[in-house]
Amino acid sequence: MTSTWDSLQWRGLIAQSTDEEALKPAVDGGGMTIYAGFDPTAASLHFGNLVQLILLRHLQQAGHRIICLVGGSTGQIGDPRPSSERILKTKEQTAEYVDKIQHQVRPFLNFEGDNGAIMVNNLDWTAPMSALDFLRDVGKFFRVNQMIRKDAVAARLESQEGISYTEFSYQILQGLDYLHLFREYGCTLQTGGADQWGNLTAGVDLVHRAEGSTVHALTTPLITDSSGRKFGKSEGNAVWLSPEMTSPYAFYQYWINVEDASVVHLLKVFTDMTPAEVVELEQATAERPAARAAQRELAQRVTTLVHGAHATEQVEAASQVLFGKADPAQLEEQTLVDVTGELRASEGSIGTSVVDALVATELAASKGAARRLIADGAVSVNNIKITDAEQVLSESDFLHSRLALLKRGRKNLAALNLV
C-alpha cells in the first residue's frame, strides 16, 4: 500500500478523526508533528497503550515527527472514570511512574537523527502556571455545557457520587497540552484511544479558540477481550508491558491463546506484516486451525517487540519444556519461576523421595498410587523419566537451587520448591 492512511485503515488503527478530507493527505504526505499522551497512573503501560505506540511507530516510519508525552501533571489528576473517583497518587509516586514509563516507551520509537522522536513531560509547563493564570488564560476558552457532555462526566453527574472539580478539570489540562505543543513544536495531530475522543476534541477546540488555527485528532479502536471488556488498568484484566507486572511468559501465552476469530485482526493491528503475509496465515488458520500458526507468529512478533528477542527465545523454550520436548535446565532462573508460577506446588528438600514429592504436590493420591505411576513409566522429574520407585531428589534435581519440575503423564505438572 502506497498510502499511509489506507495502510492504517487496513490495519484497523483508525476509529475516528477530525476532517478526514484534510487529514488524509497530510498523513500521506509526511512531515506532520504528532503527539500522543500517556498518563503515569500505574507503574507500567498496558495492552491498550501498545496500540498507540504501534500507531506512532507507523507514523514515524512514514516521515512524521513524533512527540511522546508522559503526563507528570495529568497523571496526578487522572482521566475521570464513569464509575467512581480515582484515588490520587502522591507527587513522588507519580514522578517515579513517569520515569518508568518514559523508559518503557523509548524502545518503540527512534529518538535519534533528524526525525527523532521527542519525549516531554507536561509538568514542565503546568507547574510554573498559577491557578489564576490557568483560569484566565486557559479556562476562559472552555464551555461548561460542552464539558459535561463527555460520556464519563455525564455518567458521574448522574451518579450519587458526582464528580469532583479536580477530575472535571482533567480535559482542560489535556487541552492545554495540545495548545502548548502546537505553540512550541507546531504539533497539528493528537492520537489516542476511542474512549479519549472527548479529551482530544477539547484540545482541538482550544487551539482553534486560542490561536485561530485548525488542528486534528485521530483515535484508534478499543481492543477488547473475549467478554467485550476494554483492556486497561481500571478493568482489572490488564496485560501489562512491564515484565515485573506481566511476565514475558504470561505475555506470550496471552497471544498464543488468542481465538481464531480474532487472530487475523490482531496480526494487522500489532505487527508490521504485509497484507500478503496476513492472508497466508489466515488461510493456514482456516485449513489447519489446530496448528495455530497465526497465533504463534503473533505471539513471537509482539513478545519480541515488547520484551526483546532473547526473552522470546526463553518463553518459546519454556513452552517446549512444558510439553516435555526440552530440558528445563536450559531456562534462565526467572523464566523457570514464571513458567512454574501457576502450577500446583509444594515444598521439599534434598533427599525427599520422588514418591513423597508426588503425594505432596497432589500428582498422586497416595504413596501406593505414586509407586504404580512410576512402575507404569508415567512420572518424570525435569522431563527425565523415573523408573525407580525408591529414587530420591538430589541437589542437581533442584534447578537453579530453587525447584524441581514434576510431571505425571503428558499434561499434569507440579513444582517442588526447595526448602
In this structure, the chain runs to a length of 419
Q: Please tell me the predicted confidence (pLDDT) of residue 150.
A: 83
Is pLDDT at 304 greater than 90 in this prediction? yes
309: β partners: none
Domain boundaries, the chain: 4-228, 247-327, 343-419
Average pLDDT over residues 59-84: 92
Q: How confident is the model at residue 10 (pLDDT cuts 50, 70, 90)?
A: very high
CB 75 within 8 A of CB 97: yes
> 142: burial class by Cβ within 10 Å (0-12, 13-18, 19+)?
middle
CA distances, 11 to each of 49, 269, 271, 306, 355 (Å): 16, 5, 9, 19, 54
CATH class of 247-327: mainly alpha
Comparing 33 with 326, which gets the higher pLDDT?
33
Q: What percent of the chain has pLDDT over 70?
A: 97
- What is the spatial distance between Cα 123 and Cα 127, in angstroms, rounded to a whole number? 5
**Architecture of the domain delimited by 343-419:** Roll (3.10)
Of 384, 334, 316, whose CA–CA distance to 354 is shortest? 384
Q: Are 46 and 222 in contact (CB under 8 A)?
A: no
Rounded Cα distance between 413 and 362, Å, is 10
Residue 229 has a pLDDT of: 64
List, for residues 220-269, the tens digit of each pLDDT value.
998 876 667 665 444 556 789 999 999 999 999 999 998 898 899 999 99
Q: What mean pLDDT, rounded, does the chain reach?
A: 93
pLDDT at 85 over 90: no
Nearest-angstrom CA–CA distance, 364 and 301: 39
**pLDDT surpasses 90 at 48:** no
Chosen CATH of 4-228 out of 3.40.50.620, 3.40.1130.10, 3.20.19.10, 3.40.50.920: 3.40.50.620
pLDDT score for 360: 97
State mean pLDDT over 378-400. Answer: 96
- Can you tell me the mean pLDDT for 143-155? 87
**How far is residue 165 CA from its own chain's centroid?**
30
